[in-house]
Chain A
Amino acid sequence: MTQPILEIRGLVKEYQPGKPVLRGIDLSIGAQGITAIIGPSGTGKSTLLRCVNRLVEPTQGSIMMGGQDLARLRGGALRAARRRIGMVFQEYNLVERLSVMENVLTGRLGYVPLWRAWLRRYPREDLDRAFALLDAVGLPEQATRRADALSGGQRQRVGIARALMQSPALLLADEPTSSLDPKTAVEVMELMARLTGEAGVPVIVNIHNVELAKRFAVRIIGMTGGRVVFDGPPDAISNDHLSEIYGGEDWL
């Protein structure tokens, strides 16, 4: 493996004292390709991703990225770290009352001064890049539409454009396809894989669909009960592993 971009050591998260959701996670994430995390609902996959960009506060452990421990950052340093970490959400989380363009430019809020954001006076190169990203995600004519006028698949495309607008060094995707129909899910995964591949951005994706995970990921991490129980390439995962991760075998 090349130099890892992210080093997680002994990560523990307890929402309630004594009831850990993550029970000591150790992971290094390489600087390339898609890493898929699979596992049953409520096993802490989402919490793990949210600890990385600190939407959730870790209880213990370290998360090293670029020589900094993300778990210890505060204030301006935390915001500077967050802007290098894009995130794509299960329910898209677009600001519905804003236009598609404004949502994409939200990815620049960590970079531009407040007055520019307020007056919509973004630097020309930001606007050019936003248009280029909208073209790339297949929404070339939608810049001025309001986000709540889009379909689910279109919204997730905007979500991907917004995340890439941050010029991220790492992309987190939390169940990006779970709210989409199967065909759109594949299209969105393909799009995300292609654009992050072109930009050389590594991706960590939580995903329910094992087939999708195998198809797009270079590495699969299986979690259950707040621990990592499988870590390897997609072709190494067997039904035994799946039954350990999800429990039972009748569904296989």
Chain B
Amino acid sequence: MRRAFAPNWPARLGLLALAVYSIWATSQLGITGERLATGLGEGGRFLARMWPPDFTRWELLVEGLVESMQIAVISTALGIILSLPLGLMAARNLAPAWLSAPTRGFIAVCRSLHYVIVAILFVKAIGFGALAGVAALTVASLGFVAKLFAEAIEEISMKQVEAVRASGAGPAAVLLYGVLPQVASRFIGFSLYQLDSNLRNSTLVGIVGAGGIGGTLFAAFKRFDYDFVAAILLAIIALIFAAEIVAGRIRAALQ
């Protein structure tokens, strides 16, 4: 009989190995049906204590949220400003190798550590508070935006750049007229996306002492004020939803 579909033995063996390993690892971690049942029971009690959410300390809540928003906006702005030159310096089609290689290395270092780890480092280095949060999220933003910006520049049409250069324009004028028009809309898109994720991230850095609503949330957890925890979580969700709607509107307006 002629065979219409070749069997993919490597894929079958791989899937089998994954299934076997998952079962083994589950038993190693002591995850049993019994453990799951207690866990679910605890979860139910926890949820019951969160209801109803307690908004009586709304001033504390608003203060934390405002600080988180400020951290997010400032760090996004700083990140974007730093990403512009870094992205240009990292683009291999515009910058010479001696410049692009170390810049790419620097951007990779900024991206390699999770922003919570960077926040802990900054809290240790420059002390508790919003400044550490701003510094940590700035590093995260420039890692993300500069990398995508450099990639966008590497995809531009060099023919358009060549034509501007042929007119006798200097390097800065070539950037202004030949390069930036080709990448401006994508750069704005990356920046908006980063503002969005910085809003989310800025609610977390407070847990390690770097300012914002996260600190309030962590304190509420430690005092078992689960109804206040619920209020904070609802407020964060509302903030993120609102930010997403605004970002969507801006994106649509830019199309």
Query: Chain A interface (Cβ within 8 Å of chain B)?
Result: 53, 55, 76, 79-87, 89, 91, 93-98, 102, 106-107, 109-111, 114, 117-118, 159, 162, 166
Contact = CB atoms under 8 A, between A and B. Distances in A.
A95 B181 contact: yes
B119 interface: no
Contacts of A96: 157, 160, 181-182
13 contacts: A79-B169, A87-B163, A89-B159, A95-B181, A106-B163, A106-B167, A109-B168, A109-B169, A110-B170, A114-B172, A118-B176, A159-B163, A162-B163
B173 interface: yes
Contacts of A106: 163-164, 167, 169, 177
Contact of B167 (A76, A114, A162): A162
B107 to A, nearest CB: 25
A118 B169 CA distance: 12
Contacts of A107: 167
A96 B166 CA distance: 17
Contacts of A89: 159, 162-163
A97 B185 CA distance: 10
Contact of A79 (B160, B168, B185): B168
Given A89-B159, A93-B159, A114 B170 contact: yes
B166 A87 contact: yes
A95 B177 contact: yes
Given A76-B170, A84-B168, 5 more contacts: A55-B166, A79-B169, A95-B182, A109-B169, A110-B167
B170 A79 contact: yes
A93 B167 contact: no
B206 interface: no
Contacts of B159: 89, 91, 93
Nearest to A78: B168
Given A95-B178, A95-B182, A98-B181, A53 B163 contact: no
Given A114-B172, A117-B176, A94 B160 contact: yes
A204 B97 CA distance: 35
A87 B159 CA distance: 12
Interface string B215-227: 0000000000000
A82 B167 contact: yes
B165 interface: yes
B153 to A, nearest CB: 14
A114 B172 CA distance: 7
Interface of B: 157, 159-160, 162-170, 172-174, 176-178, 181-182, 184-185
B168 A102 contact: no
B166 to A, nearest CB: 5
Contacts of A53: 166
Contacts of A76: 170
Contact of B163 (A84, A95, A118): A95
Contacts of B182: 95-97
A56 B86 CA distance: 28
Contacts of B168: 79-85, 109-111, 166
| Most chain A beta carbons < 10 A, residue from B160, B162, B167, B173 | B167
Contacts of A80: 168
B67 to A, nearest CB: 36
A94 B157 CA distance: 10
A57 B172 CA distance: 21
Contact of B164 (A97, A109, A114): A109
Contacts of A159: 163
A204 B8 CA distance: 61
A206 to B, nearest CB: 15
Given A55-B165, A106-B167, A162-B167, A95 B173 contact: no
Contacts of A81: 168
The list of the 5 closest CB pairs from A to B, nearest first, reads A110-B168, A83-B168, A109-B169, A93-B163, A82-B168
Contacts of B160: 93-96
Given A79-B168, A82-B168, A97-B184, A114 B173 contact: yes
Contacts of A87: 163, 166-167
Contacts of A166: 167-168
Contacts of B178: 95
Contacts of A83: 167-168
A80 B160 CA distance: 20
Nearest to A111: B168
A46 B169 CA distance: 21
Contacts of A91: 159
B173 A117 contact: yes
Contacts of A118: 176
